[in-house]
Structure 1
């Protein structure tokens, strides 16, 4: 018994479709084979016919040649000789074709020419060649070929006899005895060839009969075999259909998900126990219902005739179902419409209870938008609600008040009483604020001890009165009962939500600033954000400018300019600084002063630097001749870019892919940016210098600690702040500052460049102080980078002469 159980357990149950697939494959293969065999037999029959037709041409042409040659012997007319030779060309062509095929190296071209000369149809030539080469060894065909070879000698003798007859008639006088002898020989050859042709024809006919019998036998057997397989296949299909039907019924009634079988009107024809359990019905009770009885109103889709629109209704969706006890549940619904020949279409639907998923999704959504400690909305939801309030006033007018609330001395509570007491204070504060506001207002927790409050449809003056009552009554709520503990108070900042507000970030920042001002003023008070209308307009203008910069980068409207930097004593040295301009949508060109403040304020410096560097590298890559002449190209980098490691990675990647440009580049870093981010500045400087670039400290002298930090920054160039350069010819202090910076640069072996050189007098004084480079309108005005990189477009200029007198361009 154990062995039997083991054998049964180890038995592999074949896949129900595997046998059907094998039978279909076998039937298909047999059909293809039958077609192939039929095609081959048809080709054999055609070849047999071609041989019989060719033999007929051979025999007729031989007889025609004999008759024409006999007439020529009798009368000596040249046309009879020509006719005889033309007729002989047919059997001789067939002879030549056969000999070409019998050679060790088969000459197919010669064989084709021979069979065509033998008056065979062009379409039969390939069949003749194929059958002779591959079927010539078969018994009957082999015998036919043997008989064909026996005609070779008599045929050649016949051809020779034509030459003898021609020689006879070429004599002055025909010998009657010779003519009689040739006539006898001709008749003998004709009888011999006709006998051989008849035997050859009979052999070909026997071969054709064998082919015909073979065709009938093979065709009959194939049809019989296909019939047997088709019958077996039909039986298997019927068995599989019955098996599938029983498996479907078992799966339908035993499935753990709800299943319904519906008619075209939505009536329930069959239902499994799972759907009955899900909806709380007895299974038999479901059979008397229809789909509209189970679905909540609005979940059914109807067509123009008021019937259920099944193609749209059966799309996978989550629908609301009505339970037997009147409750509702969510069910994931999917189904298919089955059309059966001769019957009305049926619908099979699957319903899975997903009510728990919906409840979980609502819970997750609540946690994502609410603070777990206080139950108030969190920062993300606060920003969303504030955005909604801002859109509301922009669309319909009015005003709201956004309040930023910060508990005073909360850290003392946390440290003195513990975090549990701090959490209790936050929860009570949340409950207090919720109870203090009106319906339509909302309260949220920003984090820590900070709360946000929106007072709807009131301005900041009215809001201030409400908030002052909250501040005064807060101390009377009794949050903390222990003697000697710090009392609870809060500082509140208020900003109006009007259509003039820039955006949500600006509103949050303004409320935060007002709250900070309340703390600075002594805490436990309310402060309103009262920025001037002019400042608001300026902020909004900066936001517009930022949007214009973003659009200009996307539309490729940021343009590169270049301003020459004159090397004192070497005017041929090509050195310039790359500048950026923005072309507005109206075509007006804007300088950096119009958009750079907004770029720096809103943190877009790195994006602009990336764009400028990409434009510069692409431009220089297509100007190899200019790059060879280029001495140095300065390009500015903002403080935001220096502080971001990913920007250094971006620059290093550009330099690695364009190593020939690295030694031509000098990155300009403002002195204040370097000092404010000293460690990041050092990393950036070392990273680019390791790849062959140079580094310049721009606007040097504007910082408060320039000289003390200078040793820590391995720069190659100092660019003196133009504020000192511009007025040094009339301001002794500026002149002294320039002299000091120049001497420091010389001691540190740095190249010193002066900016804002706007007059010849200043240029001369700078050269006398030992400045290495001059940059400004007195040297050369900025021009488009294309003009700088193309000598034909660059204007003629005169640099600083050896005597220190610069010439204007």
Structure 2
């Protein structure tokens, strides 16, 4: 290629003609290396920005700056990448960033691990003043009387955390400058974010003094002058608008990394520092201007002094090699002696383990990969196919030969493959089954553990006889759903039957197109108790229940819903004979003969009836309709049938429900959901504090509303999972944005989310996207939701634990109160139902239940939380019982997360 700019003639006078030719070619051809039209793509330049208020906010704030740099640097396209604190370090280590905008302390950290240098320093605006530095203030209550920082020796000082620049490090430097041995002469109290927690610690006397950012302190005393807080000693600094008695350090730097293209950092520095204060770019960033970079060595010194780097292995070896050599010599000297001793000890341990295994009360066998029994204990003979079998005779047999086991949900005669597959995806699995043993049937609970042997994996199968326990549970379930006097369904069971019949217009099973719901109330039933006795009235009700069972159709569902009230669900083949069915029921009442000497008496009843269509989404609500029709029959004199007609009342009720559901959908679509946080405070100060995140719905006027009625509508219309996903993502983003101090929070999951198979992948993806630490998250599931969906709850809990999260069983004691379920779920935390806490002063049974929950949880190594603690008496009661945490208005009222 001909290069015009590179030609230099060696003989000026002898090359005139050649130069003229070259000049013409240069006018006609483009310069060397330059195409006629540059169509190459611009170079991508990445600016990593610390997103301390959230990633969307960081992009909105700094994208105009990136656009400005792209416009003034042809050939380059600047892109904002918002990052949380940990993500910034990882992106820098991976050499993905050309420029970095972050807080001063992290800039100092990055300068230790890679090449980075400041181009400009951020200047903030406070009214008409420019603020280029930040500072802190060491403060106390005015009534403490501290006049100088040196008086804090031997005192308690509160701060956000040991690595918080404005909330601790600057304060410690000021105390050291005042002559205090910070490491030994003060007692630190770290409260975590928000900064208001430090002020609370000083106000309530937990700390004598505190350290917070100067700007935050100024705003607090302006908003709450009655708190009577003041800096300790002189707190005025030249050209600094806020009170400060600590060193001042520079604001955030805009820095270039070693990845930035050559020459570009200097250009960017000139462009940023030349931006006028009234430019749109500066206004969008919310700052005053950019200035030449300040000296950040003060930050380095603070980091070296208060956050020293740990010693490396090389430094330890260099400084202590004689001692290390002596230790190595001693280890080598002891190794031979220890190996001989270990051999004898292992033999004794093996014998002891065999005796222990044989003495277990739970039957257990150890199987090889082929299903042959390698080891069995004495208790397993109780489950063997032959009653004459013992542990010795079982050795070497096939598992399927020794035990006639059937696992629930399978049809195979030998479930060995089922057991092995159950243990493939984890070290332990549980399942239920039955064992046939010479004419007897045993209900068993199986637990399968996969053991990695020296050669092939082995399987440890333990068997627990739960025959009596299941019978007891079946009896409890029957008593929970049936009336004890008549043996009929109770109201709750009948409503549950109606809900399961049709839900949201979809048939849950084969049901008729039309059914009648009949409500029957015996007229003047109290007269029977006066004529005879109360026992006679009970005999009449029991006999009438039997009379209904004989006279009414076999597919009718009958329930006792009051003292002398019955509800009857009756399927119909015709669309128009509900009134006829109700009259037949009244005739059945009339034909009933009184027991004993009162057979001359006859019963009368008021009967209400309503029709239920198969696509009725509110079938259980028809109970109320039938009851209202029955009341109408009573008002008309009784002993008659009245059919319910919804009229305006029914239309208004349905319209109200639709409006509430539409309001919920509008709140979700317009992002009017918010969260509040409530402290869960430990009784023992050594335990960490938690916070529970509570859902709030903001109405159109901006007021936060408690979502109880909206949650009921969301659950009814299958929208609760969407709400829970919003809560999980928002909570994880908030946890990841807590820069200075990690905070453990509890997040509630509804029963719908427990059943949702997509919830576990969603939580896993959300944790990866947001960078939230799973160890800071406790997922809460209510006792009722866990027990109704026990198998799915167990799978969810195990998956969450594999992710690193913890699990809390909420409202325990308010539902079924089954300690067997508690044993299976193995929660990290058990939250005792608040109604039990409220009932303890007046109900001794409530105190016994709470004490039992605490004791069982302690044995299971689960922490207990007492909810609804609102009085000092309740606090003292649960504290004396040994509860670990308390939660309630006595301790803390929920605050919006935005204020934390």
Report the TM-score, using the length of structure 1 for normalisation: 0.39
Greater relative CO (CA pairs within 8 A, separation 6+): 2
**Larger-Rg structure:** 1
Whichever structure has more strand as a proportion of its residues is 2
* TM-score, length of structure 2 as denominator length: 0.35
